[in-house]
Chains A and B, each alone.
Chain A
Amino acid sequence: MPTLLLAEHDNKTLKDATNKALTAAKAIGAEVHVLVAGSGCKAVADAAAKLDGVGKVLLADAPLYDHMLAEPTAALIVSLAGPYETIMAAATTSGKNIMPRVAALLDVMQISDVIKVDAPDTFERPVYAGNAVQTVRSLEKKKVITVRTASFQPAGEGGTAPVEPATTAADPGLSGFVGEELSKSERPELTSAKIIISGGRAMQSRENFTKYIEPVADKLGAAVGASRAAVDAGYAPNDWQVGQTGKVVAPELYIAVGISGAIQHLAGMKDSKVIVAINKDEEAPIFQVADFGLVADLYQALPEFATELDKVKR
């Protein structure tokens, strides 16, 4: 029986999270169908059809799915669930919102944040902020799964799957979209960036992020992240938070600046390929996971870092 993968998108573009979740879906071994639920999102469906390994794209294009609210989207997925053995989504805030609702409506236990597919019914997932990994076998007839995107490489293009309209479900009429405030940035998204530079409590202000972190980010083409402490203090917006309950990232290079390295933060970045820590406190736990540690005052080190980068690039 095939696998149904819920696409992550903004009605205009298909997000990289879908490509990564697709790699996990393909590992199960069954044919993969991608569901694109949105409004005016035909371009997204066309993009999904080009992904390598997609057998079919189902397009539910209706105003009801404009913002992928959990109530109508879950109802839609449940109405389409019949022929599918596995129903998957990336563990984005959208997937985390919708999928448990689907699971409960189908009376199955969800497997959250899968980092490895061992067998079609057996998966690995982190628990306790990633300090332990559980291997779980699902005894359910249907499997509902969210995928930790940082653990899978994105699937490439090369497919030519047909796009078929999906029958839309009734509006549960429980919720409505009021508005959104989305960060606008020219920088790459945190969850797909190759390089990330994050600041912690030691940044002391929003202005210091702008003055010290962002210039380095722009020279590196990096995304900017933050520790929970920095976000709580208002130095950085919530969508920059990297950690157990924020975003989990695994870039090629992660630079932690003025971040002590609480287990909750490490949970969000310890799978990065190369980790750099810049911290005044040489006892900071972040140094225990860093490939390269620099004990220094960030207010001197970061401007110097920016200057040295210019030299390297020349």
Chain B
Amino acid sequence: MKILVPVKRAVDKDVKIRVKADGSGVELGNVKMSMNPFDEIAVEEAIRLKEAGKATEIIAVSIGPQQASETIRTALAMGADRGILVKTDGPVEPLAVAKILKAIADAEQPGLIILGKQAIDDDCNQTGQMLAALLGWPQGTFASKVALEGDALMVTREVDGGFQTVKLKMPAIVTTDLRLNEPRYASLPNIMKAKKKPIEDKTAADYGVDIKPRLEVVKTTEPPVRKAGVKVKTVAELIGSLKNAGAI
């Protein structure tokens, strides 16, 4: 079974982003970029399935600028086998991403596609569900546990009240939540080896997908800033302040 793992090049999770003064977007020049953290968890889960003998090949796909090939290299260094880079200029919306991924899935015929549940830049939380819809596959979103049982996939999901377990027909879509696994760091020998692994270069047009945005971003603004309040010295003073503020 092949596993397809889409990986997104996103602003590093530790970067405090700045909104451009003219409201046209977020300052991304000279900002550290990394693989979206949820996608690292997706790559790790695919590798674990391969190590357990449940998968034969892992294909890492990234849709983005030329530098997204570095994100694919990271996945290859962790243990993915080959990569596909779909080169695009500018942001691509989840629906267009899902359409490109559908075309790749039609060509590659994976048994499983594992995606991060959301990218920490646009915070959309859509792509996996949309891809499942377009393929007509079931979806196990926000997964904290994944187990292959015969020809079915058991997925335990993190839901608002706790956990829910669903049984999915294969092929299936899984989106990862934080507690699914702890992604490994690539070792130096594996980083060297990854340089020799193949990455195919493609464009959205190769897959016949129109990536024109459906949503117009009118403006991007700073949220209201909260100001630091006062430091109280004792618990009694804290309680008094809260009482005065009508908070308790």
- A263-314 residues at the B interface, CB under 8 angstroms: 263-264, 270, 273-276, 282, 287-296, 301, 304-305, 308-309, 312
Residues of B within 8 A of A296 (CB): 235
Q: Is the CB of A174 within 8 A of B137?
A: yes
Interface assignment of A13: CB less than 8 Å from any CB of chain B: no
Q: CB-defined interface of B215-228 with A at 8 Å, one 1/0 digit per residue?
A: 11111111100101
Q: What DSSP secondary structure best describes chain A's contact surface?
A: mixed
Cα–Cα distance between A282 and B232 once the two chains are bound (Å): 12
The smallest beta-carbon distance between A100 and chain B, in angstroms, is 4
Q: Which of B73-81, B90-98, B200-208 contacts A (4 or more CB under 8 A)?
A: B90-98
Q: Is the CB of B231 within 8 A of A176?
A: no
Q: Is the CB of B11 within 8 A of A128?
A: yes
The smallest beta-carbon distance between B148 and chain A, in angstroms, is 14
Q: Is the CB of B248 within 8 A of A239?
A: no
Q: CB-defined interface of A230-268 with B at 8 Å, one 1/0 digit per residue?
A: 011000011100001101000011000000000110000
Q: Which of B55-63, B126-134, B187-195 contacts A (4 or more CB under 8 A)?
A: B126-134
Interface assignment of B107: CB less than 8 Å from any CB of chain A: no
Residue from B127, B165, B215 having most chain A Cβ neighbours under 10 A: B215
Q: Is the CB of B215 within 8 A of A253?
A: no
Interface assignment of A104: CB less than 8 Å from any CB of chain B: yes
Number of interface residues of A (CB under 8 A): 91
Q: How many A-B residue pairs have CB under 8 A?
A: 262
Given A109-B93, A127-B123, decide whether A253 and B248 contact each other with a Cβ distance below 8 A. Answer: yes
Given A132-B223, A252-B247, decide whether A109 and B94 contact each other with a Cβ distance below 8 A. Answer: yes
25 pairs, CB–CB < 8 Å, chain A vs chain B: A70-B132, A100-B94, A100-B127, A104-B129, A110-B95, A112-B124, A129-B123, A131-B17, A137-B218, A140-B215, A176-B167, A177-B164, A180-B159, A244-B120, A245-B177, A263-B16, A270-B223, A270-B226, A275-B226, A276-B242, A290-B228, A290-B229, A292-B245, A305-B238, A312-B239
Q: Which residues of A contact B (CB under 8 A)?
A: 67, 69-71, 74, 92-94, 96-105, 107-113, 122, 126-140, 172-183, 191, 195, 220, 228, 231-232, 237-239, 244-245, 247, 252-253, 263-264, 270, 273-276, 282, 287-296, 301, 304-305, 308-309, 312
Q: Which residues of B contact A (CB under 8 A)?
A: 11, 13, 16-17, 19, 26, 38, 93-95, 98, 117-118, 120-134, 136-139, 141-142, 144, 154, 157-169, 177-179, 213-223, 226, 228-236, 238-239, 241-243, 245, 247-248
